[in-house]
Amino acid sequence: MCGIMKYTIEDFKTEIECIPDEDIRAWTLKAFENCPEDFYVVPASSSGKYHPADEKLEGGTAIHIKRAFKVMLVLCDSESDILTREEISILLSAILLHDICRGAGRTHPEAVRPYYAQKLGDAFVEQYPDIMDAIETHMGRWGRHRPDTLLQALVHYADNVASKLHQIYPEGNVEVMNEVMKSISNANVKDLSGKLQTGINYVNNK
């Protein structure tokens, strides 16, 4: 099992920089700069029933988000012939922020909109309603609101796949599990982002 990682905002700047739209990138960075204080220590599973073992530990939500981001990059690359640059930016922002308000005393994921409205004002929240909607529907049939657009569905799929790595590669096989964790480490974010940028260039030049 992987050891406990101590994350900070600096550990997410590589992912944030992958967002192609400059305005959405800046908006996402501001959301991270003003996230709940416990975000970097909260486990990804409040019940202890779901997610890989290391995501159930302190810092597990941050680990999960980084993995879900890798899945989203692959999905965006797969659909880059139909997704616009703005839609890809919305997807990358939403997956980075989908669990940002997970934690004690907050209703997840509905807490994101009111949290940022109080912290940064209604104008901030209303700037990108598609991002907020995708966050609120990311739990699919396990949440209060189900996805009803392609963007919302893709955020749900990325989250769901990332949270079930332990089912695809059972925890009993420690060596296999460790190799999987290495394969979705920070090292390949830029490689995946480069492939995505090729797709974005294709879209913009059509």
Task: Convert the pLDDT of each residue in 59-89 to its tens digit.
Answer: 678 888 988 998 899 899 888 888 999 999 9
Overall pTM > 0.75: yes
Q: Which residues of 82-99 are buried (b: 16+ CB within 10 A; e: fewer)?
A: ebebebbbbbbbbbbbbb
Say which residue the tokens 């970097």 belong to.
40
| Total residues found in the chain within this entry | 206
How far is 83 from 27, CA to CA, in rounded Å?
A: 20
Backbone angles phi, psi at 75, to 5 degrees: -65, -40
| pLDDT (tens digit per residue) in 147-178 | 888 999 999 989 888 877 666 666 545 455 55
